[in-house]
Amino acid sequence: SVDEMDGALYITSYHRHSLRENGEETVIFNTELTAADLVSQYGKVTLKEGTYVLGEDLSMGNVGMLSVEGKVTLCLAGHDLDLGGNYIMFGGKGSTLQICDCAKEEKGQILTTSSTGAVLVNGNHTLELYGVSVKGTAYGINSQGGTVKIYESTISVENMGEKNSAYAILVSGGSAVVENSVLTAQAGSSAFAVNAMNKNVLELKNSTLKGTAGSNAFGVLTTNGSVATMENCDLVGESTDVTGAAMGANSCGDLTAKNCRFTACGVGNNIFGIYSYGDVTASLTDCTVTADSQNTGSATAMGANNGSGIMTLKNCTVLSKGAEGRFSFGAYSVGKLTIED
């Protein structure tokens, strides 16, 4: 049905948007989006502040970028949003984009082949995903100083060229929260489920993060003073080349983990469950840290490798398997290592 509100016409759709600030029973007026609404101006389609519901599968391939201004809620409603080689961008000041999918059965997805990712979050803008599937080829979510919140979503990126890299989420400045989600990245060269750099704040909870690649594979990589906290997560790095490296987590910033499972595996030359490096602190409680090397040659496997900082393992299980040809350590430390029951 069509209703009039504030002098404008809206298509009403009684989805129960599971957005955290609105609650599960909130009914929102929605503007339905169809292909006829995708009118490009200056190479982009702009969604002004409001709530939009996809009325059909939409393709942006020949249309341009999708830009949002103000507070925008976009519900996939079980439909696909194919961005082609484009991505979603932000306009205005302090805009917020909430993407959800209220379909009860067959869910939709966001697809992109852009080298920028599905969504570019910059400046003081905010992206929130609620129960959404994103598939990309280089980046899933690319945050350059913004705020990213991922809830009950799946982000997968595959970029299998020999020299290619893949990032499910890249956070360069700003902050990211990931809860009850699955993030995977596969690449010929380097893969990161999450790469947090430039003094980010990263919070992970009840999630699975896996990177699979030939050269460098990381569940999580944090650099340049980023601070990471995680609880009840699985972090996996898998190397597919004998010259490569795999790490469940590589932390060059402070890291706190509780009830997590760090796993590095594959045929790579260096397999570390967790590697902490620099003047940083890593504190693990009730965690399992495993290095499982399938390399039968000259390889190194370490469950926990503390490069030069302070690492505390409290009530943790630390294992190293394989790598008989060179070194295999449950825990190895150059800095200060404390082990508590």
Per-residue tokens: 337: 């290592």
What is the value of pTM for the model shown? 0.90
* Of residues 191, 184, 206, the one with CA closest to residue 239: 191
SS3 36: helix
pLDDT of residue 119: 97
Task: Kindly report, residue by residue over 263-322, the tens digit of the pLDDT.
Answer: 999 998 899 999 998 889 999 999 999 999 888 776 788 899 998 899 999 999 999 887
- Residue pointed to by tokens 């003047």: 279
User: Quick one: tokens of 112?
Assistant: 């992109």
User: Which positions ≥6 away from 192 have C-beta within 8 Å?
Assistant: 165, 166, 167, 168, 170, 185, 211, 218, 220, 221
What percent of the chain lies above the pLDDT cut of 70?
Answer: 89
Mean pLDDT across 103-124: 92
Give the tens place of pLDDT for each residue, 134-150.
999 999 999 999 999 99
Q: How far is the C-alpha of 182 from the C-alpha of 123, rounded, in Å? A: 26
Residue 213 · residue 244 · CB < 8 Å: yes
Give the pLDDT score at 18: 53
φ, ψ (nearest 5 deg) of residue 298: -90, 85
